[in-house]
Structure formats: C-alpha cells, structure tokens
Amino acid sequence: MNFENTLSFARTMDEQDPLRRFREEFLFPQQNGKPFIYLCGNSLGLQPKSARTVLGQQLDNWQNLAVEGWFEGDSPWMFYHKELKKLMAPVVGANPAEVCPMNTLTVNLHLLMVSFYRPEQKRFKIIMEAGAFPSDQYALESQVRFHGYDPATAIIEVAPRPGEYTLRTEDITARIAENADELALVLFGGINYFTGQWFDMEAITKAGHAAGAIVGFDLAHAAGNVPVRLHDWDIDFACWCSYKYQNSGPGGIGGIFVHEKHFKNEQLDRFAGWWGYQETTRFKMEKGFIPEAGADGWQVSCSQVMPMALYHASLQIFEAAGFMGPLRKKSMMLTAYLIYVIDQVNQAVGYEQFKVITPENENDRGTQVSIIAQGDAKGIFDQLVTAHVLGDWREPNVIRLSPVPLYNSFEDVFRTGELLLKISKERAL
C-alpha cells in the first residue's frame, strides 16, 4: 500500500478498519482529563470495559455462594479454567487440552523446566538468545545451578553479528547444530522484548529436534501479538504472561502449553500439586500422584479465579474479533504505517533522528517498533509522555512503541509521528 503522512489518510484507514469498534471496548488512561495515545500494550494491555462486569460476577458468586462456588452457580470455579482453555487455544495455535491458565510466567517456566530440562552427563547445555528478558536469564541460571552445572559453560547465548541488532535464523540454527551432541534444551523468546524481533520458531524447533534437544518458548511478547502455531510447529512446551497483548491486568494469570505428544510419557518428572491430580478422583485425597490428562496435569495450586476472570474478559474480545487472523492483518498495517511515519520524520529533519531496530521484514516482527533516539533520548521520551503519547523506555536510548490492533488506530500513529517531528524540530533549534 502507498501510505500518506496525512490526517485525512489516517482517518480514511480507520473508517475502513473492520476492527475499529473494538477500540470502544477498552479504557484509556488519562492525564489532566485528556486520554493518552497508548502505545504500550507490549508492556501492559489496556483494561477491557467488560473486566469489571466479569470480575463482579465472580465476586457475586463469592458473596452469594461462598465455598459452594467451587461446585455451584453458572460457572463453578472447579471447572472455570476450562472456559478459558477453549479461548486460549486459538490465540496460540493449540488444542484446548494442550493449554492451561495458571500461576505467572516465570513460575510456569520453572515448573515446565522440571519436566523438560533433563540434563545428563553429556547432554546438559541450553541454547538461548543473548539479551533475553532478565527473568528468563535468571530462571535458566538457577535451573542449571540446581542441576550442578556452571551457567558459564552450560548456557550458550546466540548474539547478533557485529553491527547488527537482530539475530539471523541461520546463525541460530548453526549454533544448535554445532552443539548438537551436548544440547539438552533450546529455549528462546518468541519475540525479543528489546528489538521486537519475531524469531522463526518453526525453523528453530526443527533444528532443535534434529539435534536431539527439547524445544520451548517464552511467549510473553508473542502470545496475542502474532499468530503462533504451537501444535503444528511441534514445539514441546511454552509459557506466557497474559497482561501484555492479552489485557488481563497487572500481574495477570499466566498460561502454559504442553504438546500432546508428551501427555502419555510417564517418565516426565514434575513438581506435583493437588490441583494437577486426576480431576475425577481429586477429592478422595489419596496418596500417589496421578496427573490429570493434558496440560492441566501441570497445575500445582487451585485455580486463581479472580485473575482468570480478568483474562476471560479479554479472551472474549479476542473471540469476537475473530482471534489472530484479523488482528494480524491490521497489526501488520499499523506497524508498517508507524515505520513509514518515523521515516517521514527523519526525512523532514534531514537526518536519522530515530533509527528503527525492529526487523524491516513484516514477517519478522509483531506490533512493537523499537527506535534508537539520537541526542537526549530520555528527554524525548519524557516529552512524548507529557504530550499524552505513552510508549515505554529501555536504557540506554530505546523507545518502544506498540500499536495494538484491538484498540489503536491509524490516527494514533499519525499523531505520534506528528509529535515526534515537532519535538525533533524544537530540539534542532
């Protein structure tokens, strides 16, 4: 498409947007009575207007049913997670039995690594992306130490080539092949939090399996953002948070995926808990752990009903929007338009004030656009916030902007570019 850096073009695009009505399903933060242009869904999604209603229904159940709420009412808590499983599965390309809402992301990563990081004397190494989100780094370091290995030798990090910001798939798969004899686990983020690069998850999985390793992904920045196909790509396991693109609220409940090919493997270790026990006999309170079938068997503690209710509110919006197909189509357009507008700003000021480090190829990115701002980058970010544009900041000089298709508009993108140009011109004086 031939974009135009004009308000009329942006508004025409919004008028033609089949998803435009979903913007009205969310609450935008305000400053001095004026709403923000919110471009920070990569960090915390907006609150659905329905969240209060859905949460209120569960509060009413608590009030009116008390402990009987586990088994009585319209949505008994004992089985409430099953309603979410049906809606989670299309978001991540899975079968409902393969997913489960539970805990939070890093807790789930540890629980899954108990099952899927099984180092042996020869095979004990893990390959991951350099510059992964710190929680992943810390989780892997501690898991390696727990098994008696040194992270310095057991963890292999794949870094971009000198002068580049993103990883090449051929470099990732080559490192996997080079270490095939010693590799126990390949664990990548689906999307890198800093650059916004969407890794070729299918190619990485094939390379990992060819090397004889288990392959897992942290989908914190991918779930609800890009159309992943966890089952079809034969990924062994994955976990994610739901408070970014899936709008479940700060600290919202996490999710897990375990491929069905592992369901009958009785040799898998796991940290067991009562809620992962076989559902039909759970209340017999007997010794000897028998896991519930599917991903539910990795549950430990009882369902977090209130966080699940908030997640449910957002997942119902995903369902109404047609899940990831329509969202991805709009996302690619919004993100391409944002990159175009940033380029227009650079052309207008006559130099590269803002360098985009997110991949140029639309198939290698989601909604997030990361830009290196020249000069007083933090000052520029602060000016954006003061002027009611809220992205987020990463040291030392990166501003992340994420136009989310459920609630952002083309006019949001145009207005952001307009403000970036104004700030750049003022600073050049």
Per residue in 310-333, pLDDT tens?
999 999 999 999 999 999 999 999
User: Does the annotation flag 245 for ligand binding?
Assistant: no
Domain closes at, from 286, 321, 356: 321
Is the residue at 308 inside a domain? yes
Is the residue at 295 inside a domain? yes
Give the number of domains in the chain: 2
**Rounded Cα–Cα distance for residues 194 and 325 (Å):** 25
One domain for residues 138 and 86? yes
| Pair 86, 318: CB distance under 8 Å | no
One domain for residues 162 and 174? yes
One domain for residues 219 and 303? yes
Domain closes at, from 321, 353, 388: 321
- Whichever domain contains 374, its CATH number is 3.90.1150.10
Q: Is residue 27 classed exposed, middle or buried when 0-12, 13-18 and 19+ CB atoms within 10 A define those classes?
A: middle
Is the residue at 1 inside a domain? no
Is the residue at 136 inside a domain? yes
One domain for residues 104 and 152? yes
User: Does the annotation flag 146 for ligand binding?
Assistant: no
Domain closes at, from 293, 321, 349: 321
User: Does the annotation flag 135 for ligand binding?
Assistant: yes
**Rounded Cα–Cα distance for residues 221 and 92 (Å):** 12
Scan for tokens 């067991």, then name that residue.
272
One domain for residues 252 and 349? no
Is the residue at 402 inside a domain? yes
Upper half-sphere CA count for residue 393 (Cβ side, 13 Å)? 16
Tens digit of pLDDT for each residue in 125-148? 999 999 999 999 999 999 999 999
Q: State which residues form the domain around 378.
A: 7-35+323-428
Is the residue at 45 inside a domain? no
Nearest CA to 97 out of 107, 86, 108 is that of: 86
CA angle 374, 375, 380 (to 5 degrees): 85
User: Does the annotation flag 105 for ligand binding?
Assistant: yes
User: Does the annotation flag 147 for ligand binding?
Assistant: no
User: Does the annotation flag 243 for ligand binding?
Assistant: yes
User: Does the annotation flag 200 for ligand binding?
Assistant: no
Q: What pLDDT, on a 0 to 100 scale, did the predictor assign at position 392?
A: 95
**Total residues belonging to the chain:** 429
**Mean pLDDT on 96-118:** 98
One domain for residues 305 and 316? yes
User: Does the annotation flag 104 for ligand binding?
Assistant: no
pLDDT surpasses 70 at 62: yes
Q: What pLDDT, on a 0 to 100 scale, did the predictor assign at position 427?
A: 87
| Pair 112, 100: CB distance under 8 Å | no
Is the residue at 352 inside a domain? yes
Is the residue at 43 inside a domain? no
**Mean pLDDT on 288-305:** 95
One domain for residues 237 and 328? no
Tens digit of pLDDT for each residue in 151-207? 999 999 999 999 999 999 999 999 999 999 999 999 999 999 999 999 999 999 999
For the record, the structure tokens of 101 come out as 């809402």
For the record, the structure tokens of 6 come out as 């004009």
Map residue 75 onto helix, strand or coil: coil
pLDDT surpasses 70 at 429: no
User: Does the annotation flag 218 for ligand binding?
Assistant: yes
One domain for residues 161 and 236? yes
User: Does the annotation flag 133 for ligand binding?
Assistant: yes
pLDDT surpasses 80 at 342: yes
Q: In which band, very low, low, confident or very high, does the pLDDT at 428 lie, cut at 50, 70 and 90?
A: confident
**Mean pLDDT on 59-84:** 96
Q: Where are the alpha helices (DSSP H) in 16-156?
A: 51-65, 80-92, 105-116, 134-146, 151-154
